[in-house]
Amino acid sequence: MGELRCPQCGGRRARRCHRVGALERALSGVYVYPFRCQLCGRRFRALHWGARYVKRSADRREWERLAIRAPVVLRSGAVVAPGEATEISLEGFTAKTAARLVEGATVGATLDLVPGERPIEVEEAVVKAVRSDGIGFQFVRLGDEERRRLRRVVVDRLAHEHDATVPPGPDRPREGRLRILGSVDFWLVTLVIALIAVAWLRLFPWFTRCVYGMNC
């Protein structure tokens, strides 16, 4: 099966994410899984026929982290610690630093991702994991403008990572109203309505003779 297409932005960079609730667990039995678009953040369900996903630990990331080397400055109260960001995503980042932090600690951060441009200021990030190769942070508070700038950086890097030897498939324009036809939820609702209608007619066959005002 080819790359999944996001129903919102049309991008082809989606990542399998956690199932939520009994419905999504049941749908996975027929190969319908939830995904997260890495370009716009939209969460959607899609048919991935024949695919089975191995259950991972509870901290499995829904966002793909991209390799990067960029200066970062961490702030915690009056303490300021320099470091180097080694991974970045729309959800958070990984950094190497001499600062001693524990899981659950919160910091502010300045990410200098693009040379020559103003650094991205993170108001608050929380430590999610402390490993030998770096500390994983998740964004807690990030201004709208800073989030837009971060999204642009991530999208640009995703585009550069795309295999240049395999050109992307041609975009097929679709009217906004027709996009719903590609939604798994739309077809699930349609199927449920059809099954209810069939069951009703089987249980109450006289109904078909009364629909048009005929004598019952």
pLDDT tens digits, 3-20: 678 888 877 777 787 788
Interval 89-95 mean pLDDT:
92
Higher-pLDDT residue of 175 and 67 is 67
Distance CA 76, CA 104 (A): 13
pTM of the model: 0.58
Residue percentage of the chain with pLDDT more than 70: 72
Q: State whether residue 181 is helix, strand or coil.
A: helix
Going by C-beta distance under 8 Å and a sequence separation of 6 or more, which residues neighbour residue 11?
Answer: 5, 37, 38, 39, 40
Q: Residue 35 is inside which H or E element, if any?
A: strand 32-37
Given a cut of 90, whether residue 38 has pLDDT beyond it is no
Average pLDDT along the chain: 78
pLDDT tens, position by position, 146-187: 999 998 888 888 766 654 434 444 444 444 444 555 555 666
Distances (CA, A) of 130 to 46, 73, 95, 127, 140: 34, 17, 10, 7, 17
